[in-house]
Chains A and B, each alone.
Chain A
Amino acid sequence: MQNRTFYNEILTEHNMHPIHKSPLIEPTASLRGVNPSCGDDVTLQLKIRDGVIEDGAFIGDGCAISQASADMMLELVIGRSVEEALSLKDTFMKMIKGKVTEEELDLLEEASSLQDISHMPARVKCAVLGWRTLAEILEKGEEGEEVTTEDGLR
């Protein structure tokens, strides 16, 4: 029963009824992220103005963890500045590596429900796909390259 907490209600709800899974009208940036070996596929679209993520959405398919994680991420970062979003990304990555504090965990809101992924190495790349794609857009803008987590976190 080691991964009982994976498929909690928060995760299944975001997977079955995602809030942000629909194409965005006139995004300012759009980037695709894939996990080739398991077929997770997320195209992230953002509307960024004056350093603030005004809106965001994703389209794609894949396992519940990849899709729900992207949805929870967008719920968290929409309305935040680019700096805040990147800081949250760092916190999420710390959580996935099992090195997060209780205070930091609170900052992640619903995304903190994926904490136990840190015990399941094979699923880590599913959880981080959306976040890695987000970071690529925010750090490199239009120059960002398609993201693959194949050689990602271990």
Chain B
Amino acid sequence: MIRTIEEIRQDFPFFSGTDLAYLDNSATSQRPRAVIEAVEAYYYHKNANPFRGLYDLSVEATEAYEAARERVAGFINAKDSSEVIFTRNASESLNLVAYSLGSLVLTPGDEMICSVVEHHSNLLPWQHAAKRAGATVKYMTPEADGSFAVEKLQELLTEKTKIVALTAMSNVFGQTSDIRALAAEAHKVGAYFVADGAQSVPHGKTDVQALDVDFLAFSGHKMLAPMGIGVLYGKEKLLDRMPPFLTGGEMIETVSLDAVTYAELPHKFEAGTVNAGGAVGLAAAIDYIEAIGIDEIVAREAELSRMAYHLIKEIPHIELLGAENPEGHHGIFTFRVEGVHPHDVAAIMAEQGVAVRAGHHCAEPLHQYLQIPSTTRASLMFYNTEEEIEKLAAAMRNIRPFMGYKD
């Protein structure tokens, strides 16, 4: 059943208390009542430390946590829920795989391939892994529309390439790439493919088996779930062989003072008390997304993107980064205003009740590559309205007059 935008907005307590046009969704989304209530219900009625207790309540907590894992596995079509590791966020997921897969497969002289487009979270962990192993990172550049070309990856791949780590959707361009083809190319030389799905998973259907990626990282908080819960998907046969990232409680079979046997997947990678409330919230977020329908979400966001793209393109003195068509933006519009610093742009838009992000969006190498110091980014989500997009465009039109320019 397709619901109206008014009905959807009513699901989000945030919107009832504000006139703000919230267009910083790539930074973090808002949460529907169902998610907040699911977290509340967990802490009201089911809270105990999962896995430890030998009483019913702890068993229930464990069940709630593991049911959330099943839910995530289904959402991304993982073969088995043991392939879903809960983390704090995509950054932690990427650090985990870089450290752990890096320790397993990298030897001195090996190569990894990353891109200049990456968020720092999919860049710094690989640079550190390279340093630890005596390996190097090679950087791929994007096409003019912000996508990655398979031919360019082919040119960089060698027999020494062990890992390819690329974003499935740029947080600056909003552009996607043919991840399946890129992963297949990496596999041809025996390299593993890691996809940063922080932006892509909330905004489109994700099927890790169809994509055949070895790892996928994403955050709950960008897809309606609470902050502090994230996911690393990994192929079981790889996760099995990888050493743990963090060590400590509840990730072991046996420990003595000089030996340890680690627990089975996925617990090997979840040291310490887990974020059960967050996991339950993520499961509720997935329930919410699937109730609306991921196809419906994609369609709504495409419609809003088309509208935003055409309105922005009409405004003079605005330079939009990335694709020259609305389809290549997926709700992300990063721009520059001639003669006005991005921090002033964002502040002036804030005065008009529009929340956008300014800076380098944790993608400083990309800004260096584009030879621009910083930018402003508006990013939308299915719950945004046409009125909010009009408000965005109006606020953008006002920036230069506001700063004293005559046109």
A binds B: yes
Contact A4 B344 (CB under 8 A): no
Taking a contact as CB atoms closer than 8 A, the residue among A3, A15, A16, A62 that contacts B347 in the complex is A3
- Which 3 A-B residue pairs are closest in the complex by CB-CB distance? A63-B341, A12-B404, A63-B343
Contact B347 A7 (CB under 8 A): yes
**A100 contacts the other chain (CB 8 A):** no
Contact B343 A7 (CB under 8 A): no
**With A4-B351, A6-B351, A123-B347 in contact, do A38 and B374 touch (Cβ < 8 Å)?**
yes
Q: Which residues of A contact B353 (CB under 8 A)?
A: 1
Q: A4-B351, A63-B343, A63-B344 are in contact. List 18 more A-B contacts (CB 8 A).
A: A1-B353, A3-B347, A6-B347, A7-B347, A7-B402, A7-B403, A12-B402, A13-B404, A15-B403, A15-B404, A16-B404, A38-B343, A38-B359, A39-B374, A64-B341, A65-B344, A123-B347, A126-B343
Which residues of B, 310-332, contact A by the 8 Å Cβ criterion? none
**B348 contacts the other chain (CB 8 A):** yes
**A101 contacts the other chain (CB 8 A):** no
Chain A 115-154 per-residue mask, 1 if CB under 8 angstroms from chain B, else 0: 0000010110010000000000000000000000000000
**B350 contacts the other chain (CB 8 A):** yes
> Number of B interface residues, CB 8 Å?
17
- Listed A/B pairs (12) with beta-carbon separation below 8 Å: A3-B350, A4-B351, A7-B348, A7-B351, A12-B402, A38-B343, A38-B359, A38-B374, A39-B373, A63-B343, A65-B344, A120-B347
Give the nearest-CB partner of A1 in chain B: B351
Count class of interface residues, chain A: 20 to 34
Chain A 56-68 per-residue mask, 1 if CB under 8 angstroms from chain B, else 0: 0000001111000
B contact set with A: CB distance below 8 Å: 340-344, 347-348, 350-351, 353, 359, 373-374, 402-405
* Prevailing SS type, chain A contact patch: loop
Contact A62 B404 (CB under 8 A): no
How far is the CB of B137 from the nearest CB of chain A, in Å? 24
Taking a contact as CB atoms closer than 8 A, the residue among A1, A4, A16 that contacts B403 in the complex is A16
How far is the CB of B287 from the nearest CB of chain A, in Å? 36
Give the nearest-CB partner of A66 in chain B: B341
Compute how far the CA of A62 lies from the CA of B402 in the bound complex, rounded to whole angstroms: 17
Q: Which residues of A contact B343 (CB under 8 A)?
A: 38, 63, 65, 122-123, 126
Contact B403 A64 (CB under 8 A): yes
Q: Which residues of A contact B374 (CB under 8 A)?
A: 38-39
How far is the CB of A8 from the nearest CB of chain B, in Å? 11
How far is the CB of B345 from the nearest CB of chain A, in Å? 9
Compute how far the CA of A126 lies from the CA of B341 in the bound complex, rounded to whole angstroms: 12
Compute how far the CA of A63 lies from the CA of B339 in the bound complex, rounded to whole angstroms: 10
